[in-house]
């Protein structure tokens, strides 16, 4: 039986993946095998760009496609060895006709106006070529698929990669496209006679139609709640430790650059694309700009939905902010408010979501750099002002202009802190992170850095190309800035900097809401150390 383009594409793509640096994610096959022939057979997985969606689709094609022998490709992998999966491995290996649709590729081939008719025509052509006795129904692809399944003696496995690309990129055909998907997957009529299992993957969860999903029979797993698919969202910490050891790279640096996505069972998930690029190029940096998603971030921020710009400043400062994800309709063209935009950024991979707390944060150094770049591209008056103020604050700190530092911190505290949470040290910590948000141009930031007899609140360590001094910042609420400096010295917070040969500034910043009869008084003291004591 010959291989086709959309019907039974074979295993050559997965063979190429196996020939390179490979991380075993075949356990996902076992999860899909459990759904075959059940009411849970329709699976929708949404992930950000560059998180291995296409690799997974090609792996599934190689495993299920009955026109090839893929046993060698899976030998020794998790699907063959894990007790929870291996019982289904041989039962389903290369046993099905596979329909594989890469929607991004199809849109390029067919054009948006002919996409649906193109899919119907190409699938019918390949079905008739595979089963010459098949009487094709030109009006109904579903009817043709039912007859083909009867001739084959088994149902189809269908795999759709980038299933949501038509919704994201060509909203004018959205209605027709969703109607096409409904004709294949909605309800138990022909769907149950055609498909043993369906796996669709994209960036966004399934489009909502009012309060309901447009294709309600799918079981969905997204960046908000990936369920049992958590280990397969990206690379786990164990995966990355192994890769770094094999290729003699720093695991600590890999973690700082690419970790930060977490779920209730798997606490550390890494961006696979960036990890692989870092290994091949042997350099840790942001590879996110190579994704087209990066181009839109500045536009999203510039929209300033309900104060999104201020939220981004808080995120850049290292704060976690609350988000309500329930109102998002899974559609980039129907953003209504800040919560919708933050939810979209979760699905795009720009933000990590804490489901227990209902908060988001910037996950890692790579994404923080992209936010910093994008916010500098925003041309609004507020964006320009905030960037200028933050740069000036860093300069004032380096020049030991304590009055200017205290005044700017006081300004940010007043403008960006909820009055209900104003009077505590945690609020002051958040204010400092927001005020210094442009630090990445010259510094790396470390929070609660273990050193001496405790933890330094915030340490800004200069990048290699920077000539600026180290900033060791200690914060106090209702205590003096001098007391903050004394604490740095007494608890030897600078011990983590032993061996550093440059200047070190000890920065004490305090907030006293009743100091000297003045409400909300901020003070700053800065002392210079030439080197860290041995």
Single residue among 347, 379, 411 that ends a domain in this structure = 379
pLDDT in the model for residue 531:
62
Q: How far is it, in rounded angstroms, from Cα 79 to Cα 28? A: 8
Q: Are 318 and 312 in contact (CB under 8 A)?
A: no
Is 7 within the bounds of a domain?
Answer: no
According to the model, what pLDDT value does residue 424 have?
57
* One domain for residues 433 and 374: no
Tokens (6 digits) for 85: 């999966």
Q: Do 37 and 139 lie in a common domain?
A: yes
From residue 202, give the alpha-carbon distance in Å to each of 11, 51, 179, 510.
21, 10, 18, 48
Instruction: Sheet with 359-361: list strands edge to edge.
Output: 321-322, 359-361, 352-354
**471 inside domain:** yes
Rounded to whole angstroms, the Cα distance separating 118 from 194 reads: 20
Provide CB contacts within 8 A for 25, sequence distance 6+: 52, 55, 56, 59, 78, 231, 232
* Domain CATH for 84: 3.40.50
Q: Which of 221, 246, 279 is the last residue of a domain?
A: 221
Q: Are residues 246 and 362 in the same domain?
A: yes
> What is the CB neighbour count within 10 angstroms for residue 364?
22
Closest CA to 293 of 97, 162, 111: 162
Residues in CB range of 467: below 8 A, 6 or more apart: none
Range of the domain at 259: 232-379
Phi, psi of 205 (to 5 degrees): -65, 170
Do 216 and 283 have their domain in common?
no
Does residue 283 lie within any of the structural domains? yes
Residue where a domain terminates, one of 323, 350, 379: 379
Whether residue 390 lies inside any domain: the answer is no
Same domain? 51 vs 178: yes
Residues 295 and 366 in one domain: yes
pLDDT means per 10 residues, the chain with 534 residues, are 82 94 96 94 93 94 96 95 88 96 91 86 91 79 90 93 88 84 77 92 80 73 95 96 96 94 94 95 86 65 78 84 90 85 94 94 91 79 82 94 92 69 64 83 82 78 85 85 87 75 88 60 87 56
State the pLDDT at residue 188: 56
267 close to 230: Cβ distance less than 8 angstroms: no
pTM of the model: 0.84
Q: How far is CA 13 from CA 61, 68, 82, 417, in A?
A: 9, 12, 24, 52
Q: Do 439 and 412 fall into the same domain?
A: yes
In a domain, 1, yes or no: no
**Residue 282, pLDDT score:** 95
Write the DSSP assignment of 297-341 as a string of letters. Answer: HHHHHHH-TTSHHHHHHHHHTT--EE---TT--S-TT---SHHHH
Q: What is the pLDDT of residue 517?
A: 46
- The answer to whether residue 534 is domain-embedded is no
Looking at the structure, tell me whether residues 159 and 209 fall in a common domain: yes
On whether both 366 and 494 belong to a single domain, the answer is no
Query: Which tokens in the block code for residue 471?
Result: 């900033």
Q: In whole angstroms, give the CA distance from residue 433 to residue 113.
A: 49
- Answer yes or no: do 217 and 242 share one domain: no
Paired sense of beta strands 504-512 and 454-462, if any:
unpaired
Are 294 and 215 in the same domain? no
Q: How many domains does the chain have?
A: 3
With respect to residue 497, please indicate whether it lies within any of the assigned structural domains.
Answer: yes
Q: Is residue 429 part of a domain?
A: yes
- Are 317 and 463 found together in one domain? no
- Could you give the 3-state DSSP secondary structure of residue 460? strand
In this structure, how many other beta carbons lie within 10 angstroms of the beta carbon of residue 264? 12
């Amino acid at each position: 039986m010959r291989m086709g383009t959309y019907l039974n594409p074979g295993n050559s793509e997965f063979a190429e993946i196996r020939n390179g640096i490979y991380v075993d994610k075949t356990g996902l096959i076992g999860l899909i095998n459990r759904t075959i022939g059940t009411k849970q057979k329709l699976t929708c997985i949404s992930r950000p760009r560059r998180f291995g969606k296409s690799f997974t689709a090609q792996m599934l094609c190689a495993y299920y496609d009955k026109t090839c022998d893929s046993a060698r490709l899976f030998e020794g992998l998790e699907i063959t060895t894990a007790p929870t999966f291996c019982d289904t491995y041989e039962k389903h290996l290369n046993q099905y006709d596979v329909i594989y649709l890469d929607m991004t590729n199809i849109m390029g081939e067919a054009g948006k106006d002919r996409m649906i008719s193109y899919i119907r025509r190409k699938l019918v052509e390949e079905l008739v070529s595979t089963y010459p006795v098949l009487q094709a129904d030109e009006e109904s692809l579903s009817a043709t698929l039912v007859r083909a399944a009867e001739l084959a003696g088994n149902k189809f496995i269908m795999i759709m990669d980038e299933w949501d690309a038509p919704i994201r990129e060509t909203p004018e055909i959205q209605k027709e496209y969703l109607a096409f998907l409904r004709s294949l997957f909605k309800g138990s009529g022909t769907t149950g006679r055609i498909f043993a299992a369906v796996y669709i993957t994209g960036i966004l969860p399934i489009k909502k139609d009012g309060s309901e999903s447009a294709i309600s029979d799918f079981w969905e797993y997204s960046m908000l709640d990936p369920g049992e698919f958590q280990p397969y969202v990206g690379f786990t910490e164990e995966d990355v430790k192994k890769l770094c050891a094999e290729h003699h790279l720093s695991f600590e640096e890999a973690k700082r650059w690419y970790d930060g996505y977490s779920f209730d069972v798997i606490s550390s998930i890494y961006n696979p694309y960036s990890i692989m690029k870092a290994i091949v190029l042997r350099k840790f940096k942001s590879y996110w700009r190579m994704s087209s998603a990066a181009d839109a971030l500045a536009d999203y921020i510039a929209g300033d939905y309900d104060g999104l710009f201020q939220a981004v400043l808080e995120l850049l400062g290292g704060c976690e902010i609350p988000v309500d994800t329930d109102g998002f309709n899974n559609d980039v063209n129907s953003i209504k408010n800040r919560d919708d935009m933050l939810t979209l950024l979760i699905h795009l991979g720009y933000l990590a979501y804490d489901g227990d707390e209902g908060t988001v944060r910037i996950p890692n150094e790579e994404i923080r750099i992209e936010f910093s770049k994008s916010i500098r591209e925003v041309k609004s008056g507020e964006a320009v002002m905030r960037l200028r103020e933050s740069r000036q604050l860093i300069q004032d700190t380096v020049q030991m202009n304590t009055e200017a530092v205290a005044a700017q911190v006081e300004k940010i505290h007043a403008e960006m802190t909820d009055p209900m949470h104003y009077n505590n040290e945690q609020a002051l910590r958040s204010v400092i992170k927001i005020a210094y948000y442009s630090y990445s141009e010259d510094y790396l930031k470390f929070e609660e850095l273990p050193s001496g007899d405790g933890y330094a609140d915030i340490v800004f360590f200069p990048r290699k190309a920077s000539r600026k001094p180290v900033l060791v910042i200690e914060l106090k609420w209702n205590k003096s800035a001098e007391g903050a400096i004394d604490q740095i010295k007494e608890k030897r917070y600078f011990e983590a900097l032993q061996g550093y040969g440059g200047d070190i500034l000890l920065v004490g910043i305090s907030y006293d809401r009743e100091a000297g009869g003045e409400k909300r008084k901020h003070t700053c003291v800065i002392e210079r150390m030439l080197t860290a004591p041995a």
